[in-house]
Amino acid sequence: MRNPEHLVPHGHFEEEPQPIEPVLDLEVPKKATEEVVVQESEPSLTPKESFEKRKEVLAKAPDLEGVLREEWKKERGTEAPEGINLSLRTVETFRRTVKDAQDLRKVVRYSKNPEEKATALSLYTQKNEDIKEITKHGLSFEAGYREYLRAQREYFDFVNSLQEISQLQTSLDEPDFKDAKSNVEFDKKATSRLGTVMRETETMISADKNESLVALASIYPKGSKEYIEAAELLSQEKEEKPETKGEISKKIEELKALSAEKWENPMVRYFWQTKELDKMLEDFGDGKDVIETQSVIKCLNKLDEWEKHHQRTTIGGVLVGPPGVGKTTMVKHYLEQKERDYVYVDLSEDVTRYLLYGTKAIEFKSPTEYYERLAQDFESMDEEGLKKFISEHAGVAKNVFGAKGEEATVVAISQINEAIDKGKAEAGDSELGKKLDHVKGKIGELTQTAFRRELAGQFSHLVTHNGWRDGVIVAALRRGDNIIFDEFNKTKNWSLIYGLMTAKPGEQWYFADNDENIKIPEDWRMYFTANIGRKHGGFQVAEALASRANGKVMEVDYAPTREEMRVALASLSNAEGDFLRSKDDLAKLYVLINEVFPRVRNYTEGKDQTIPISYRLIRDLGEKLIMYNNPKTNEAVYQPTDKSFDEALYEVMVDSYKLYEDQTIPKEVVNIATSVGLLLDNSVKEKVTGLIGQETYDERKTAFTEHAEDFRQIVKKIQGLSRDMADETIVPEIRKF
């Protein structure tokens, strides 16, 4: 294992470690520690001599990888597969087992439930037996584990460099440093701030360190020379802080060079990728809408960079790209990570000045006149008027009142019925009373239609207090909510928001509609998103937006195939990263991502009624094939469902097109999928033959039955995926906020 090549990871699914949790201030039981100490010192030697001799012996120990491969051959009668790194797998199994033992020990120590304590003790004893079995190779395992720690130290250095680069670059934009001269030493305030910045770089790797030290204590007693020396492999020696702005810039360049050098180490790339996968698995388990892959992190960092470097504009960014790539979701995720609220406005609808800024309600001379006007408004509405009424004021209750979901409708309908009942009580059996009774019936009918939510906003406006009613923008400014303007390319009323584009965060802005000055919050931004491409036709972006968004336009495209593959793998794995479906399904997943997705996207580009292929579709596929949680208890279960891969694929990629009369696209989707061996399962035979015909189906079914070995080769290719990824030369990014 001393040869670095032995550390290059293979077998993506068999070697991914579990997500790491910090273990603090826990001791390994003395018995377990004594039993797994590999070699005791000779009594006749001084401690220093014993320590040095031990290092010499470790250097001559048989290579762990070779020992494990010999053991594999002896026990199974065959050579171990070349695609599996047995030494790496053994070391990481050891680390997981030690962590499990520590968790069980806490239960034994602190649980007040006798039955739970007894169960934990039994499991703890078994874990200790497992530790002895793993470490039975003595010096070979010890030498291999120390080499693992050296590789991990390289990874820690790499992550530390990336984090420090980010922190130092951010600090250069802070007031304490921004205006400082390049060669003038910082004052006490700036020096103190810089110290804080550099200490923050240690937080990303503290959990990894803690787990490594706990595992280390299962080999050496704490406080021994062996333990101390091995622990020093994980330590970070902090260099002196830069004292000038020029030294910060120089430090950044040195760290960039260091991180590029560290990234050349295959094990550094392996540790990075396993941590990335752990985060994906955690996010899937939590049901998060956004999986922070490298392409997503780059977009998030860009939004953060624009906000920091363009502080004199209310435009936070303009995101364009094909449908389904997550432009709007990206902005929402960014704002949520910043702990900011936001409102969403669809500019493809006919927005009015009232919707955006507000209006004055009609002043009534008496309550009777108010109810007369209320009845008149609803009596005069025809179907077309109602549609226009809805489209102009859609979402007002949600955006203005901050209500969510059905809450806005419930509140609004309750208000209007209360107002009508009051009017009826005052009017009695008069003509007005009869009109109001008719209005209530009409409202009851309307609330059962698809327009229920949209009507809620205008109903609220009709029945609440007279005076000024804030529109979406004004209400958002008062609350400090950011605004996401979607489908900006379809708006016809740029003049309504042109003025606000010239506003600057932090200044008082005059709103003529209500004759009021409102302060623009310092972190208040407007974000614009839109689909582009032949399908959506040409459009003219308003000059006002083009000029104000200069340098803040981001094109969001489909994620790289490798990234989609990793997300898809995570969607069909458990929390430990174990793939839960069959090898055939694994091969089908690879073909789907690498062959079907690109061809379908190319075919559907420019066509109407296209359902986008995005992470949402991958998530939907995963939810059909894996039960993540028990629906009754919401506990994590991670169990494969009874649904076949082809059946789930048909449902997420083809069934949705049943909503459209034109079936050209679903036919071609099925044609593409069957041409590469997908959708040929008997579970979808009837549906598939209905689209491509029995003869074509039979031909392709026969062809791929005869070439089943091809799928096995695909599985082998996937198992080497982590090796392929280890060859990447581009240094990744970390999220900078």
Count other Cβ atoms within 10 Å, centred on residue 242.
21
The alpha carbon torsion through 152, 157, 162, 168 (nearest 10 deg) reads 150
Give the rounded percent of residues in the chain with a pLDDT score beyond 90.
22
Q: What is the pLDDT of residues 143-195, one digit of tens each?
A: 898 888 888 888 888 988 888 888 787 777 666 677 777 777 777 777 776 76
> Who has greater pLDDT, 727 or 233?
233
Q: How buried is 232 (Cβ within 10 angstroms: 0-12 exposed, 13-18 middle, 19+ buried)?
A: exposed
**CA–CA distance, 314 with 316 (Å, rounded to integer):** 6
Q: What pLDDT score does 249 carry?
A: 85
Q: What pLDDT score does 278 carry?
A: 82
Which of 5-9, 71-75, 110-114 has the lowest average pLDDT?
A: 5-9
**313 in Cβ contact with 522 (< 8 Å):** no
Helix (H, G, I), strand (E, B) or coil at 556: coil
**CA–CA distance, 631 with 549 (Å, rounded to integer):** 46
Domains belonging to the chain, first-starting first, are: 1-264 (no CATH), 297-348+473-555 (3.40.50.300), 362-466 (no CATH), 561-726 (no CATH)
- Contacts (Cβ under 8 Å, ≥6 apart) of 571: 284, 618, 619, 621, 622, 626
Query: At residue 483, what are phi and psi to the nearest 5 degrees?
Result: -125, 135
Q: What pLDDT score does 240 carry?
A: 65
Average pLDDT score over residue span 666-672: 95
Q: What pLDDT score does 401 carry?
A: 41
**CA–CA distance, 588 with 678 (Å, rounded to integer):** 7
> Who has greater pLDDT, 699 or 23?
699
**144 in Cβ contact with 86 (< 8 Å):** no
Q: What pLDDT score does 482 carry?
A: 95
Q: What pLDDT score does 90 carry?
A: 92
**CA–CA distance, 360 with 512 (Å, rounded to integer):** 12
Q: What is the pLDDT of residues 339-380, one digit of tens each?
A: 999 999 888 877 777 778 876 544 444 556 656 666 676 566
- Contacts (Cβ under 8 Å, ≥6 apart) of 52: none
Q: Does the structure show a pLDDT above 50 at 13?
A: no
Q: Which of 290, 292, 299 is nearest to 553 (CA)?
A: 299
Q: What is the pLDDT of residues 312-345, one digit of tens each?
A: 889 999 998 888 788 999 999 999 999 999 999 8
pTM of the model: 0.70
Q: Does the structure show a pLDDT above 60 at 17?
A: no
> In which band, very low, low, confident or very high, does the pLDDT at 527 lie, cut at 50, 70 and 90?
very high
The per-residue pLDDT of the chain, averaged, comes to 76
> In which band, very low, low, confident or very high, does the pLDDT at 242 lie, cut at 50, 70 and 90?
confident
- Pairing label, strands 636-640, 626-629: antiparallel
- Pairing label, strands 626-629, 553-555: unpaired
- Range of 79-88, 420-429, 663-672, 715-724 with top mean pLDDT: 663-672
Q: What is the pLDDT of residues 205-223, one digit of tens each?
A: 566 677 777 777 777 777 7
Give the rounded percent of residues in the chain with a pLDDT score beyond 70.
71
Q: What pLDDT score does 8 carry?
A: 38
Residue with tokens 């797994």: 36
Q: What pLDDT score does 526 carry?
A: 94
**Identity of the amino acid at 47:** P
| Secondary structure string (H, E, C) spanning 651-669 | HHHCHHHHHCCCCHHHHHH
At residue 270's C-alpha, the angle toward residues 268 and 276, to 5°, is 105
Q: Which tokens hold the place of 734? A: 């970390």
Q: Does the structure show a pLDDT above 60 at 88?
A: yes
Q: Which tokens hold the place of 191? A: 């020096």
